Structure 1
């Protein structure tokens, strides 16, 4: 519990400072510390991070909407929450935009105030939440003990893409989930997978094999993914998701 409290305080500080990379590194270190001995503690820490980041995102959205309705631009403190986040490209949370690009975006936007407000208030929170989702999914990608948490996080990330109309992030999320599934299919037939050198395979470390519940969880996640693809009008991703569902059903026949 002592380490758990320290980790929660550390993640709170990372979120306050919008330091997603440090939060990810901390989660990886805590995973190594707690995964085998106290997986429940890792779950508590991850749930705290995701829940708080989601609330912060909703609060930032409400604050941005309120400023636009009031007709006031964000304050300098809001607009420069961090130097890095102030120049985020709206279309892609993973890449930064130059000051010139941000100015151009504001100029051509039908609502320049909305653009400036979202840049200053909402985008830093969106980016931190997106990076948190990715970090958690990477950490839990083959953890059988926390499989429910993995899929809950995946569905939360899919809902994030739908709510904030994040098409680029949705494609990347689908690719990530597809890669995780592919690794489980290739290396995780059952038991503790080992590599050619006889050591546990790092791609599926912690995986205990396919179960009926595992297959059901994967299917539930893909159904949400399919619904999200439809809502975002990304029909190519929808077709690829149907292929994923077919592959999972094939696993069920051999499980």
Structure 2
């Protein structure tokens, strides 16, 4: 990264990297924004879109630790001046993670529906016998492979959000909202 680059330019560069399939590099360049001291004095209106994009990329790549570290840094920068900005970013993390769980559940249902369409073409006699003996375990295996990783990540997102918001009187209202959502988790 150049000695000083405008946040808008870094976001545009990251979007270009995502377009060509280099999401990991884009995430790295965006997280570097918060590691430099110069950006601590940058306006939050410029940093909020970067933070939202970091959260989205972390969810897409299931990078919980990166999301947590970035949220903590952003909270430290924004907690004194803009609590609604932190709230927007946290809610984006939770909603995006929950959307991925729903998407995975739909994929799992479609995968099971595809298996039932043409028994002769897709299954061998051994698979048919195994399916008769094992019962509904095919759905369980599909759910375990597709849905469970996203459920774990979604729960981790709730924990990250609550850890980021805890012990701060200014963030108490959003903490309570996220805690209520966590109680109603799937």
Larger Cα-atom Rg: 2
Matches within 5 A, 1:169-248: none
Deviations along 1:36-58, one digit per CA (max 9) or x if unpaired, are 12222111111111111112211
| 1:60 and 2:60 correspond | no
Q: C-alpha separation between the residues in 1 aligned to 2:168 and 2:134?
A: 44
TM-score by length of 2: 0.62
Structure 2 unaligned runs (5+)?
A: 1-44, 117-132
Matches within 5 A, 1:57-136: 57-71=101-115, 110-136=135-161
Residue 179 of structure 2 is aligned with which of 146, 154, 168? 154
Flag the structure with more relative contact order, 1 or 2, with Cα contacts below 8 A and sequence separation at least 6: 2
- Give, in angstroms, the shift of residue 109 of structure 1: 6.8
- Give, in angstroms, the shift of residue 120 of structure 1: 2.5
Q: C-alpha separation between the residues in 2 aligned to 1:3 and 1:109?
A: 53
| 1:13 and 2:13 correspond | no
Q: Write out the 4+ residue segments of structure 1 that deviate beyond 4 Å after TM superposition.
A: none
- Give, in angstroms, the shift of residue 34 of structure 1: 0.8
- Give, in angstroms, the shift of residue 110 of structure 1: 4.8
Q: C-alpha separation between the residues in 1 aligned to 2:51 and 2:180?
A: 24
Deviations along 1:164-192, one digit per CA (max 9) or x if unpaired, are xxxxxxxxxxxxxxxxxxxxxxxxxxxxx
Q: Is the 8 A contact 1:137 1:150 kept in 2?
A: yes
Q: Is the 8 A contact 2:101 2:154 kept in 1?
A: yes
> Structure 1 residues 7, 109: CA separation in 2 closer, same or farther (over 3 Å shift)?
farther
Deviations along 1:205-255, one digit per CA (max 9) or x if unpaired, are xxxxxxxxxxxxxxxxxxxxxxxxxxxxxxxxxxxxxxxxxxxxxxxxxxx
TM-score by length of 1: 0.46
SS of equivalent residue, structure 1 residue 71: helix
Q: C-alpha separation between the residues in 2 aligned to 1:133 and 1:109?
A: 35
Structure 1 unaligned runs (5+)?
A: 73-107, 164-255
Counting matched residue pairs gives 126
Q: C-alpha separation between the residues in 2 aligned to 1:122 and 1:130?
A: 12
Residue of structure 1 in register with 2:74 after alignment: 30
Q: Is the 8 A contact 2:68 2:164 kept in 1?
A: no
SS of equivalent residue, structure 1 residue 40: helix
Task: Give the alignment's Cα RMSD to 1 decimal.
Answer: 1.9
| 1:139 and 2:157 correspond | no
> Structure 1 residues 109, 34: CA separation in 2 closer, same or farther (over 3 Å shift)?
farther
Q: Is the 8 A contact 1:109 1:115 kept in 2?
A: no
